Amino acid sequence: NEYKSYLRMPEIGSYMAQSITPLDDLTKALASPDNEDHVAAVMEDYIMTLQKKFCDELAAVDGSDFRIDRWERPTGGGGVSCVLQDSKVFEKAGVNISVVHGILSKPAIQQMKSRGKDIFGEEVRFKAMGISSVIHPVNPHIPTTHFNYRYFEIPGVEGREKVWWFGGGSDLTPNFLNHDDAKHFHRTLKEACDTHNLEYYPKFKKWCDEYFYIKHRQERRGIGGIFFDDMDSLPPMEIFNFVKSCGDSVIPSYMPLVKEHLNDTYTEEEEKWKRLRRGRYVEFNLVYDRGTKFGLYTENARIESILMSLPLTANWEYMNEPGEREWELIKVLRDPVDWV
């Protein structure tokens, strides 16, 4: 039974903060597969549970507590932002969830129509939820990671069916190329994908390499991972189960890399290169990232949470000349490698 794991009451202490949907309503929707809000409830419960698990792992390594902000959006919904900033291990580590609803802005409607979405009417209501995390470590030898898993729906109106889809992905952005790290990260993602469909990993790995392309630099943001969007061709709970497998792979794909390089020594030159690479991260997120754009287009969006992905420090240096180790990374960013 594909619903078996989700017919439950949320456990006390399994979230970083109170759920965005009132707990009684969330529990009722979780308990009934026939409830029209069941899929949304399952996703909200999962992202809040994953947020708690990942924050606990990061805090245990860092020795610091997350700042937890539960916020409300004036026009519907809210979120929970958990951030470690300027701490021992992490320069900035953010793990955010949002569960919002309301009326789509015109720019957001145009963006979705450009992707082939059948959106009807002048005033389009929506519900969106997701978890988004970016981890920028202090040590240049610990790679930055990002993951995002989301669910979006537009209620059916005037006899039309509900429009819905899942999206997400996970990727790695090192400052220096470490083949063992790259292989471990990609192998863990591949195992998560292969459980559902052997075609998913190669397809979504390629999509990731294409999506995180910084056109004006002619290089990728990092060494990739997986990326998918507009996933709606299977029953929603079947796709959710795939999304859950991907989300469950976050901790085993990344935390071993943090622990492996936790005590690596580094030079001022390596620190300087890290800040230059962080500049590339900023360029992609502000110029190309679809999620950032959607957030900025959304009325009454919480800008602090949207821009949480940006590093605490980043540099832009005129005509920087990379060394041999730095070029080893750049070559892979320009010509992606099949790691597994």
Phi/psi of residue 299, nearest 5 degrees: -60, 135
> 180, 213, 178: which is closest to 289 by C-alpha?
213
Please answer whether residues 187 and 256 qualify as being in contact, where contact means their C-beta atoms are separated by less than 8 angstroms.
no
Q: For residue 283, with 0-12 CB atoms within 10 Å meaning exposed, 13-18 middle and 19 or more buried, which class applies?
A: middle
Please give the Cα distance from 124 to 131 (Å, whole number): 23
- H or E stretch covering 69: strand 67-72
Give how far Cα 306 sits from Cα of 135, 194, 282, Å.
14, 32, 13
Q: Find the length of the chain.
A: 340
Q: What Rg do the C-alpha atoms of the chain give, in angstroms? A: 20
DSSP calls for 185-238: HHHHHHHHHHTT-TTHHHHHHHHHHHHTEETTTTEESSSEEEEEEEE-SS-HHH
- What stretch of H or E contains 128? strand 125-137
Active site annotation includes 146: yes
Token representation of residue 32: 């009934």
The label of the residue with tokens 């979705």 reads: 112
Out of 38, 101, 141, 146, the active site residue is 146
Handedness of CA 148, 290, 175, 340 (dihedral sign): positive
Active-site residues, by number, are 146
